[in-house]
Every structure is written in structure tokens, then in C-alpha cells.
Structure 1
Amino acid sequence: MRIVPNPVLPGCHPDPSVCRVGEDYFLVTSTFSYHPGIPVHHSRDLVTWRLVGHVLDGESWLPLEGNTVSHGVWAPTIRHHDGVFYVVFTVVRGDEGATTYVATTTDPSGRWTVPTPLEADGIDPSLFFDQDGRAWFTAARDAVAPDATGPGEIWMRELDLGSLTLVGPTRILWHGALTGQWVEAPHIYERDGRYHLIGAEGGTGRNHAVTAATSDSVTGPYTTDPRSPLLTHRHLGSGEAVQYVGHADLVESPDGEAWALLLGVRPVAGHHTLGREVLLVPVEWDEHGPVLAPGAGRVQGVLPGLPDTASGPADWVSLRGPVVSEVADGAVTLHPQPVPLSGRGIPAFLGRRQDMHGFVFETLLATEHIGEHDAGVVALQDENTFLAARVRRRADGCVVRVTGRMGGAEVTRTEVPVAGDVVLRIRSDGRSYEFVAGTSDGEHLLAAFPHTALSTETAGGFVGVLLGVVNEAPEDAGPLTFRGVRYDAP
């Protein structure tokens, strides 16, 4: 089988799930507290992906105010049956618990239904349509079975497609392959009359792994595939270009080739800022089940060093809900909100996923339009970890300064006076973030931080860096237009 360039979808796109209809593949990924939620990507070759819509937008949106950035929409699964696309997903709301939903459509690039809640414990829901047309729902939860052999378990109920409700008994399928590890990310596949349950174990860090179990019946009992883990990079050492490999979903091409889409990260010096990205590996089936990355046992096609190209047009996102904005021709107009990035409301922020290690992200602001605004460019992990170069007006004129939070602690750097048009720029070589102001008298380096300051390893959580613009001000302060917004390789 051919070696493909990886990642096939760079930047923060965790927990990939894929289905094929004819020659068309459709991919969904987790979005946590980003709005709009659950992007739908389309491909004809599994390598080149194009954003065609979102499951959660407009009337289908579910409010997420009060959430941390890493709560929200987790681990969707997309499936197709009898002309209908189904996406099941979980919304985690911190101490309030989690709710699992199902949304449907006949056009994945169009509108989706308002999500229907399901009576389902846990996270990482999935659907399997058997050859008899019955739909089976699986998910992961803390083990409740008295004979549990692990801390988590995969459970199953039937989904009634007419009422979109779970019916019939709950069946506990599997407690995982690895002693003491929580099993998650279940997907079921049928091959030659045998059922194969793929899961993920080892957490979301370096011990992440793809594991499996098999059964003669869709409802079990399932027996651990002794070849587990089927794929992991935890044994390859810290120098491996891709780490944290796991959470796989399998798909077959029209000509019978099998592939797995899964997640992984590309760390720099042990820290990653891009989030968990989508990887592609070939699959072969033998008499025991699927073999992931046959002959290699690892993700291939990742170039050494830090060569990157942007993945394409931006999927602009806000936090926890929609903001009033317009994006067109390299300009972003953003209406203000008095909501800080450090809060859990909906700030006046629009960002795009950082998907290159080395980059330049910049925009131009006219200081004559700065009144009560505190506006500029931001590199954001979450509400406790972000850095921004912002312009604001003082009594004697405008200044630009770097502020933010690192691990929840406030960060402030020296103010620099500015006038006229000012270019605000964030640039990186993959190992540092520099914040720069360009004025008529030249370029001013405002501050520089190691990339570890914004890494997931430092901040915690499950996301990567967003690069965006912010307009924090009273609502009546008026909108600002960020002109010449550019994101490119350095």
C-alpha cells in the first residue's frame, strides 16, 4: 500500500470519524467549546479534505456558556444508512455532567436537525448498522459491572431509527485489553460474519493506543484481540515525529482498500501546540482482523523537521457561541463584547486553528478607530493560557502591549506608543512565539515566549492553539475592522 503524507488534516481536529457514500468520504472531529461545532470535511481520496459544513450551527447549535474551552463537544461519530447521515456526540458541561445527542441530515454540507438527546451514559458514542438494518449504539463509561476487569467499559443498546431513542437491554461488551487502562472510542465493524470492536486505551498522551476485541455476535460477548495494541507509538521514544497515536476509525475505498483515520500530535522538544491532528494509515484484513500500518507498525509519511503548509481557507471559530462578525476579502469586522478571554462567556473573538509550526499571523488596525476598545491579535489555548498584542487608547494616545494569562497567572509587558496604522503580528519558528508591532517608524518586538508557554503539555486540556483577533469593549463602542488578515508560512 502507498505511503501518504501525514497529517492529512493538520491543526486541532481530534477524534476523527469517517464514513463513505459512493466515492465520497465525510469526516467529523471534536470541537470542544468552539463555535460552530463539528466541522464536516469532504474528500475523494482520504488525503485532501475540504470543509463543507458544520453539524452544530444556527438552529442546531447547543449553547456552551460556562464551559472551559476543553469541555463541550466530544468525539462525534458519523455514519450513513438508507440515505440519511447520522452524527452522535457528547456535550460535556463540567460539573453538570454530560449529555449525548444524535443529529441527522440527508445533505452533510447542508442543515442538520436540532440534536436529539439520548439516554446514554459516558462519552465517545458510536453507531453500527448491521446487515439486517438494525442500528446499534455503543459508548464508553466508568465500569459498573461487578466482574469488570478494567476501570472503564464499552456498552451497547439498540437505537430505534423512527423515534431516535435507545431501546432494549443494555449490554456490556468489553472492559478493554490493557490492565488498569480506561477503554474508550468504540467502533464496530463486520467482516465475513465476525464483529470487530476497535477501541482506544492509554489515555490521551504518549501511551495512547488502538486496541481491539472480536465476537461472533454484534451483541457479544467480545474477546480481546491478543494482538492488542494494534497500533501505538508509545514504544518509539520521545524523538518520534508523531506521538499520542490512537482513536481510530476504519473505512473501505470503492476499490476495496482499507484505511484507518486516527489522531496524533507533532511535538517540538516534547511540547505540542497544534493540537491532535488527523492521520491516515493503510489497513489490511487477515483471518484475525484488521492490521493497521502493515509492514511498518507506525504512522509513516511525516517529514522530519518543521516543514509545513497551511491546510487551506480558515474555519473561523468563536468561543462557546456565535459572535457578530463579518469575514470577507482578508478583512474581519468584529463587534465588541465586554467579555474577557479569561472568562467563560462569549468574548468578541474569532480565531483559526494553528496548523503550521512556523507561521506569520498578522492584521492591520487603524488607531484612529480605537476608542474604548482593547483589540488586537491573540494566540489562545484556553481561558487560562493565552497571549495577545492589543491596542488601547490612553489619555495621551494609543499604546500597544502584550497581555494574557499563563497557567492562570496574569502576564503584562511594557507598553509601546503607536499612532496611525499599526500592523500587529504573531510569528513563530515552531519554538517561540514573537509578538510584533509594525508602525511607520519600523518594527517593534513587543515580547517573545517559548512555545512551551502555549503547549497542551503546559496548559492541560485537549485543544491546540487558535490564532485570532479580539475586540473587548462595551457593546456600544462600535465594531472594528481588522484589515489585511494574513496567515502564512514565515
Structure 2
Amino acid sequence: MVMGAIMLAGCASVPSPKEYRNPVLTGFHADPSVCRSGSDYYLVTSSFEYFPGVPVYHSRDLVHWRQVGHALTRESQLPLKGQKASKGIFAPTIRCHAGTFYMITSNIDNGGDFYVTTKDPAGEWSEPTWIKQKEWSMDPSLFFDDDGKVYYTRHGGGRNGGVYQAEIDLATGKLSEEPRLIWSGTGGIWPEGPHLYKVGGTYYLLISEGGTSYGHMLTVARSKSPWGPFEANPANPILTHKSQPELPLQAVGHADLVQTDAGTWWTVLLGIRPVARNHHIGRETLLAPVTWDANGWPVVNGNQPLQLSMTVTGLPASSPWPRERVRDDFDATRLGLQWVHLRGPATALWSVTERPGMLRLKGSVHTLNDVATPAFVARRQEHFRVRAATEVTFDPTAEGQVAGLVLRQNEENHYELRVTGAGARRVELVTRVGGVTKIVATQTIEAGPTTLQVEAFEDRYEFSVRSRAGTTRAVGSAPTQPMSSEKAGGFTGVYFGMYASGPQPMPPADFAWFDYEPLDE
């Protein structure tokens, strides 16, 4: 079990180099945090307006990750009603101490900072303990010192703020005092994502500055006391890709450190892979080696930029997981862990048991344009080149009733390939960009099940339709750029999914399967 106080690695024989690919978690996996329990590693990422919240991943080698659950699975843990896109859950931290796992995070506009606990990170987590304080905060972290004290460290003050800290009683969530400023960073905007560590008797404070975009950077300071004064590393920033637009990975930052059981050090952090200076599949999780220089400062990747292909030493033995199946047949009694909803569990709007072997969506009046919980089941787009498809049976009885395949970035920006039309059914390709909705293509379709498909490229999405007895017909295409954070705003990435909505009463939409097939592996 990794405790709060961690020691420098001793000398060891030099292992053989290994190669891995960045990102180690592709698609929207932002603000990663990691902890080790024995030879197992657990990682969490931000989830914003999506439900369940805070996905939990497991690895044995820091490279291959498999989702094992969510930390927030109940509305009592995760109140998201009224939270707009890219609000909700920001920047979780996971820590393991004395047999208990802690996940602390911010519900940014609905309660502030809180933590949940568990003995099994793949199982259910506790009800939240909310941290009461006077000032706004985000990006909380926990540090367990070797004298038994626990420190709550977080961002405060906004764009020109800093890092604030207080002791915390984890039995009650009570702070010893109002958090006080311990470091303002090196002068960059948004000094955020703080984590406190103890290495060789010295306290290290790792933060990000510059904002979570192309100016992102990692900086570090140290002190003999957890309260400072903190001495900034003269070599700061210890990692940044700003002003290097030729690099394939950009916006690197928001990092967390972990030490393997063999003593080597690593950092997980976020980055993006922009296409023509736009990124649409989200901020992703990267991995990089960390060493310590002769002056006791951490060095990321030998002071070299991070690459898509990394050659390193010191990783645990490779331990890949089985590949995810391309097709989900919805033949289980519950949805797989990859599936999420908007702002709540939406239990009245979907079922995998009413018609066994089908995902049934029961559309409501809420649409994807609304800050609400529509009938929507979706998963992350994790690859630039990918095919996603679903077969839907849906017979609308009134105009305005729709069901189909959706590519969602937020309320103002999404694409729909949908079945509609009372009496004479048709497929419509609908784009919503910057809040403006357009029907860009329409085709009549036969009665019976209809397959809706999108093939994703770096710069575009190509949509097609097929009846069960027919051939595949192209419907149209739409660019990826409007779905990027640079154009659409926000902190998330594109989700592929199924949805239904329309005037009531409305017949159900039954989805027989959903394919997600990477084409770039």
C-alpha cells in the first residue's frame, strides 16, 4: 500500500527499454489522478455533466488500463440537475491509505468539494462527505503525512489565484481552519491541480499553470514544512509544450505522481492531439517517466518533450487486458461501464429488460439542446478513425418524434442521424453548430429495423444508412472542427450514442446492438 509519505527509489539494475504509446487512455480522459495499492494502480478522471461520474480504471503496468467502475453511481452522490455542459465534476484525486481508497473532487456549481471512500475501488463508494468552507474552490487533493495528519490542498482564487491548504479530519470532513494560501505558483494564470507529496523528508507541491490549453505547464516547489515557505524549482516549468506547435501532443499538464513497487517514478497527465489546431475527442491521459536530479528536483522525461511513441525503462511488466468487443448486444441485465447518461441515471427513460436483447429508449420531451436529462445513452469517442453503428426499430406516430445515432459535444454542438416521420419514415442528418440547427440531408427508408452508421476521420464524419434487406447508402458528412473545444468551448470530448425524444405519447425506440470499431489500430 502506498502511504502519503513516500521515499526516493534506491539503486537498482538497469532494466531493458520498453515502448508504449501516448495517450495511454485515449478520448476524453481529462485531469487524471493515480494511486498504487501493492502492484495494482487505480486512476480516475473528470466526468463533468455525465452520469455515472468519475470513471475508475485499473492497471498493473501503468500503460494498459481497464475501466472497473465509477466512484459516483447514485444521485445522492452526484446531484447534477441544471448543470450545463462542462460543469459538474471537476478534477478528482484518488488516494489509497491504510486499506481505504479516497476520491475527492468538486461538484463545481452544486455543493463544492467532497470525498467518498471504499475498500474496493471497483465496487460501490460511500455517500459523500462535503467540505464546508467560506470560499469557492476546485481541484482538491489529499495528502497523508507520516505523523498521522491529513492535508486538504486545493485551488482557490480563480485565474490569478493560488494553492490553499488546511488540515482535515476525514472522519467528519471538518477543516482545522479556513484554507490558507501556501503558494501562488510562478506567475502563470490558473495555478491549479495541486498535489502535495513527501519525498526524502521534503514536501513537494506539484501544480499546473497557464490554463488547460496550449499554454499549459507543470511547475513544482518544495519546503521542509507542508505549510511552506515553498521554494520554486529554478528550472520551472518542468514540462510544457507551449510555443512548440510542431509537437503532436499539446496542452500537457495537470499531473499526478506515482511510485512503482520497484521504486521508479511516473506521472500521469493530460494532453491533447489537435488536428489543425483543433481537438475534438477531448483531453486525454498521458504517461511519462520521472527521475530526480542531483539537487533533488523531479525531472519529467529527461527534460524532453513527450512523444506519441515513448521508449523508457522502469515500467512494471507488461500486463495488457483483453480487447473490448466491437459489438454490444445489450444482452446483459445492466449497461456496460462505458455507457453514460446526462445529469442523472435516467432510469425511467431506458431499459435492457423490457425487451431482452435490446436497449429500449423511451423518449421524453427533452432534447439534446436542453440542460436536462433526455433519453440518451452514449460512450466516448476514443479514436480518430472509428466506425460506430447501431440498428434501431422505431415507428414514430407523430411529427417531431425522433430516435437515432448522435455525436454530442454539448447542448449547442452535436450531430444527429435520426429516424423520424409519421406514416412515411425518413432518415435525417441534422447538424447543430453554435446553437443553429440544420437538416442537411434526408432519405426515405423502408419499414423495419434500420442501421445508422458513422465513420470518423480526423477531419470529418461520414454518415450512412442501411435497411436490414438493403444496401448501405451514404447520407452525408459533417466536419469534426465544430465539435472541437476551440470552436464549441468546454472541457469534454465527443460522445457517440443513441437517443430518442419527441411529443408525448411516443412509442419506444429499440436498439438491437451498438458497434464501436477502431480503424486506426
Normalising by structure 2, what TM-score?
A: 0.86
* Contact kept in structure 1, 2:19 and 2:310, CA below 8 Å: no
Paired letter, 2:515: R
Aligned pair partner of 1:173 in 168, 182, 186: 182
Aligned pair partner of 2:342 in 298, 301, 319: 319
Alignment of 1:291-440 (within 5 A): 291-294=299-302, 296-301=304-309, 312=324, 315-324=338-347, 325-326=350-351, 331-367=358-394, 369-372=395-398, 373-395=401-423, 397-420=424-447, 421-439=449-467, 440=469
What is the CA distance between 1:2 and its match in structure 2? 4.0
* Contact kept in structure 2, 1:280 and 1:299, CA below 8 Å: no
How many percent identity over aligned positions?
Answer: 38
Q: Counterpart in 2 of 1:146?
A: none
In the alignment, the residues of structure 2 paired with residue 169 and residue 398 of structure 1 have an alpha-carbon distance, to the nearest angstrom, of 61
The structure-2 alpha-carbon separation of the partners of 1:311 and 1:204, relative to structure 1 and needing over 3 Å to count, comes to farther
Aligned pair partner of 2:200 in 189, 192, 211: 192
What is the CA distance between 1:389 and its match in structure 2? 0.7
In the alignment, the residues of structure 2 paired with residue 270 and residue 119 of structure 1 have an alpha-carbon distance, to the nearest angstrom, of 40
In the alignment, the residues of structure 2 paired with residue 108 and residue 326 of structure 1 have an alpha-carbon distance, to the nearest angstrom, of 26
In the alignment, the residues of structure 1 paired with residue 49 and residue 143 of structure 2 have an alpha-carbon distance, to the nearest angstrom, of 27
What is the CA distance between 1:415 and its match in structure 2? 2.2
* Contact kept in structure 1, 2:375 and 2:499, CA below 8 Å: yes
2:107 equivalent to 1:73: no
In the alignment, the residues of structure 2 paired with residue 461 and residue 59 of structure 1 have an alpha-carbon distance, to the nearest angstrom, of 23
2:137 equivalent to 1:122: yes
* Contact kept in structure 2, 1:70 and 1:462, CA below 8 Å: yes
In the alignment, the residues of structure 2 paired with residue 38 and residue 288 of structure 1 have an alpha-carbon distance, to the nearest angstrom, of 34
The structure-2 alpha-carbon separation of the partners of 1:60 and 1:51, relative to structure 1 and needing over 3 Å to count, comes to farther
Aligned pair partner of 2:511 in 467, 482, 489: 482
What is the CA distance between 1:331 and its match in structure 2? 4.6
In the alignment, the residues of structure 2 paired with residue 472 and residue 297 of structure 1 have an alpha-carbon distance, to the nearest angstrom, of 47
In the alignment, the residues of structure 2 paired with residue 41 and residue 131 of structure 1 have an alpha-carbon distance, to the nearest angstrom, of 27
CA RMSD of aligned residues (A): 2.2
Aligned pair partner of 2:290 in 264, 283, 291: 283
Paired letter, 1:135: V
* Contact kept in structure 2, 1:413 and 1:446, CA below 8 Å: no
2:204 equivalent to 1:235: no
The structure-2 alpha-carbon separation of the partners of 1:195 and 1:458, relative to structure 1 and needing over 3 Å to count, comes to same
* Contact kept in structure 1, 2:431 and 2:440, CA below 8 Å: no
Q: Counterpart in 2 of 1:206?
A: 214
* Contact kept in structure 2, 1:59 and 1:114, CA below 8 Å: no
Q: Counterpart in 1 of 2:267?
A: 260
Q: Counterpart in 2 of 1:132?
A: 147
In the alignment, the residues of structure 2 paired with residue 374 and residue 300 of structure 1 have an alpha-carbon distance, to the nearest angstrom, of 41
Q: Map Cα deviations across residues 264-308 of structure 1 (whole Å, 9 max, x no partner).
A: 0111122111101110000002233211111534345179xxxxx
The structure-2 alpha-carbon separation of the partners of 1:246 and 1:98, relative to structure 1 and needing over 3 Å to count, comes to farther
Name the stretch that deviates more: 440-449 or 121-130. 440-449
Q: Counterpart in 2 of 1:17?
A: 33
Q: Counterpart in 2 of 1:224?
A: 232
What is the CA distance between 1:235 and its match in structure 2? 3.0
What is the CA distance between 1:227 and its match in structure 2? 1.1
In the alignment, the residues of structure 2 paired with residue 312 and residue 173 of structure 1 have an alpha-carbon distance, to the nearest angstrom, of 44
In the alignment, the residues of structure 1 paired with residue 280 and residue 358 of structure 2 have an alpha-carbon distance, to the nearest angstrom, of 26
What is the CA distance between 1:251 and its match in structure 2? 0.1
What is the CA distance between 1:169 and its match in structure 2? 5.2
Match of 2:407, SS state, is strand
Match of 2:487, SS state, is helix
**Gapped regions of structure 2 (runs ≥ 5):** 1-16, 312-321, 326-336
Q: Counterpart in 2 of 1:102?
A: 115
* Contact kept in structure 1, 2:396 and 2:422, CA below 8 Å: no
Q: Counterpart in 1 of 2:11?
A: none
Match of 2:213, SS state, is coil
In the alignment, the residues of structure 2 paired with residue 288 and residue 409 of structure 1 have an alpha-carbon distance, to the nearest angstrom, of 54
Q: Map Cα deviations across residues 143-164 of structure 1 (whole Å, 9 max, x no partner).
A: 7xxxxxx811101000112212
Match of 2:486, SS state, is helix
In the alignment, the residues of structure 1 paired with residue 199 and residue 45 of structure 2 have an alpha-carbon distance, to the nearest angstrom, of 25
* Contact kept in structure 1, 2:248 and 2:307, CA below 8 Å: no
Paired letter, 2:341: S
In the alignment, the residues of structure 2 paired with residue 342 and residue 433 of structure 1 have an alpha-carbon distance, to the nearest angstrom, of 20
* Contact kept in structure 1, 2:404 and 2:452, CA below 8 Å: yes
**Gapped regions of structure 1 (runs ≥ 5):** 144-149, 304-309
Q: Which has the higher strand share?
A: 1
Report the count of equivalent residues: 472
Q: Map Cα deviations across residues 84-127 of structure 1 (whole Å, 9 max, x no partner).
A: 1111100122xxx7611111111111111111110243110001
Match of 1:413, SS state, is strand
Q: Counterpart in 1 of 2:50?
A: 34
